[in-house]
Amino acid sequence: MTDLSQFIGGLPKAELHLHIEGSLEPELMFALAQRNHVAIPYASVEEVRAAYDFSNLQDFLDIYYAGADVLRKRQDFHDLAMAYFTRAAADGVVHAEIMFDPQTHTDRGIAFEEVIEGLLSGMRLAETELGLTSSLILSFLRHLSEEAAFETLRAAGPWLDRITAVGLDSSEVGHPPEKFARVFAAARAQGLKITAHAGEEGPPAYVHEALDLLGVDRIDHGNRALEDPALIERLVAEGMTLTVCPLSNHKLCVVDDMADHPLDRMLALGLKVTVNSDDPAYFGGYVADNYRAVAKARGLSRNDLVTLARNSFTGSFLPPEAVAAHLERLDAYAGG
Ligand code: ADE
Ligand code: ZN
């Protein structure tokens, strides 16, 4: 391992853009298929991995929703969460804000309670066993209706004190943030933070809408903001966090080549960017792999890497005291 690779592995960091359903590794998919007697259209783990060849977001989403069908019981969600936290902790992640897509499960007849209680028990165990703290972001599926999102927010009612934020994911183009303005206003009124995928495949106008109509606290992806100089200026002025996902961007053809990834350009522009794994089981790597891939492709310095880790804490939804404690540990690591 090179010095830089080792430095990345030990760098204390938060992960802010992670879909827990996207951390379902083929091995666990097979184990759960067996445990729950669910038929899957693959004969082997190798066959599953070979199917992960995407030309756009929708290609991926079709396979991702199909894979989630093996998740049936509370214990499955617990196991899924613990598998992710174990990998993340090994990558230097000390805090993770994980998205889950309740509608992917409730639409299959799985109770909201099974999903969230399984995740919460995994989160508690990660804290005691791995020292990794985490919080939940309830993500609405944007290809479904606003009414369905409202229904999901209602279902979450008994657990609102254990949910930190709401998010917006799934097929972006044709489903602008505007479609969900009222449900996000309702979520904010209930004390939840707001994040939304915007500018992954969708145009810069969707990033404007996420800011103006949803009142986001951060933007997931945001790559296409780079096409709009006034928007860049605004994001910089507001100190808006962007949760960028390099390996995802490459696998979903948001960038053709990792060598062309704009992360260093974003840093140079003064954008508050972070590095995240998105759906690590599908995109070929966890968060440290994302740091390594973009560091290698774009020649990032140790200083750049420390800035990315710093942004991951200051862009998190943690209280200021916790952020300060993480930054102190980060500074000790970077200076040591
Ligand atoms: N759901 C899981 N990963 C996603 C992504 N990268 N974009 C939109 N929806 C998603
Ligand atoms: Zn995502």
Q: 288-299 pLDDT, tens per residue?
A: 999 999 999 999
CATH number of the domain that 232 lies in? Answer: 3.20.20.140
Residue 33 located in a structural domain = no
Q: What's the domain range around 144?
A: 2-25+75-335
> Which stretch of DSSP H or E encloses residue 312?
helix 302-314
CA-proximal residue: ligand 1, atom 6 (nearest): 278
Binding site membership of 122 for ligand 1 (Cβ less than 6 Å): no
Distance CA 279, CA 245 (A): 9
Binding site membership of 248 for ligand 1 (Cβ less than 6 Å) = yes
Q: Which residues are part of the catalytic machinery?
A: 200
The finding on whether 81 has its CB within 6 A of some atom of ligand 1 is no
pLDDT band at 285 (very low <50, low <70, confident <90, very high): very high
Query: Which of 57, 103, 253 has most ligand 1 atoms within 8 Å of its beta carbon, as the pocket-test mutant?
Result: 57
- Angstrom distance (rounded) from CA 127 to CA 117: 15
Return the closest-CA partner of residue 21 out of 148, 119, 126, 90: 119
Distance 200 CA to ligand 1 centre (A): 9
The pLDDT of residue 74: 98
Residue nearest to atom 1 of ligand 1 (CA): 170
Average pLDDT over residues 148-173: 98
Nearest ligand to the CA of 23 is: 1
What order do you get walking across the sheet with 193-198 strand by strand? 13-19, 93-100, 133-141, 165-169, 193-198, 218-221, 241-244, 272-275
Mean pLDDT of the chain, nearest integer: 98
Ligand 2 centroid to 298 CA: how many Å?
A: 22
| 3's tokens | 């010095």
**CB distance 78 to 122 below 8 Å:** yes
Instruction: Assess contact for 263 and 292: CB atoms under 8 A.
Output: no
| Contact 223 CB / ligand 1 (< 6 Å) | no
Q: E strand or H helix at 121, and its extent?
A: helix 112-130
Q: Measured from the CB, is residue 169 less than 6 Å from ligand 1?
A: yes
Structural domain contains residue 254: yes
Write the DSSP assignment of 248-292 as a string of letters.
Answer: HHHHTTSSS-GGG--HHHHHHHT-EEEE--BSHHHHT--HHHHHH
Angle, alpha carbons 97-87-255 (nearest 5°): 70
Closest CA to 35 of 86, 63, 83, 77: 77
Residue 336 pLDDT exceeds 80: no
For strands 133-141 and 165-169, give the pairing.
Answer: parallel
Structurally, the chain folds into a number of domains equal to 1
Kindly give the number of the ligand 1 atom that is closest to the alpha carbon of 19. Answer: 2
Residue 66 forms part of a structural domain: no
Which residue has the least CA distance to atom 10 on ligand 1? 170
Q: How far apart are CA 319 and CA 9, in angstroms?
A: 25
pLDDT score at 2: 84
* Domain assignment of residue 57, yes or no: no
Cα–Cα dist 329/12, whole Å: 7
Residue 300 maps to a domain:
yes
Average pLDDT over residues 170-179: 98
d(CA 40, CA 67): 8
Structure tokens at 111: 């109770």
Average of pLDDT values for 108-129?
Answer: 98
57 C-beta closer than 6 A to ligand 1 = yes
Any domain includes 155:
yes
pLDDT tens figures, 5-45: 999 999 999 999 999 999 999 999 999 999 999 999 999 99
User: Model-level pTM greater than 0.95?
Assistant: yes
From CA 150, how far away is CA 142, in angstroms rounded? 12
Output the CA 57–ligand 2 centroid distance in Å.
10
Residue 242, pLDDT > 90, answer yes
List for the chain the helix, strand, coil content (%; round to 5). 60, 15, 25
Among 60, 64, 173, 220, residue to substitute to test ligand 1 (most atoms within 8 Å of Cβ): 60
Please check whether residue 140 is in contact with residue 152, taking contact to mean a CB–CB distance below 8 angstroms. yes
Average pLDDT over residues 209-237: 98
Looking from the CA of residue 279, the nearest atom of ligand 1 is 3
Q: Please state the atom number of ligand 1 nearest to the C-alpha of residue 200.
A: 7
* Atom number in ligand 1 closest to CA 248: 6
Helix (H) or strand (E) run with residue 215 in it:
none
In a domain, 45, yes or no: no
Rounded CA-CA distance 242/221 in Å is 6
Contact 15 CB / ligand 1 (< 6 Å) = no
278 lines ligand 1 (CB under 6 A): yes
Predicted confidence (pLDDT) at residue 1 exceeds the cutoff of 90: no
In a domain, 257, yes or no: yes
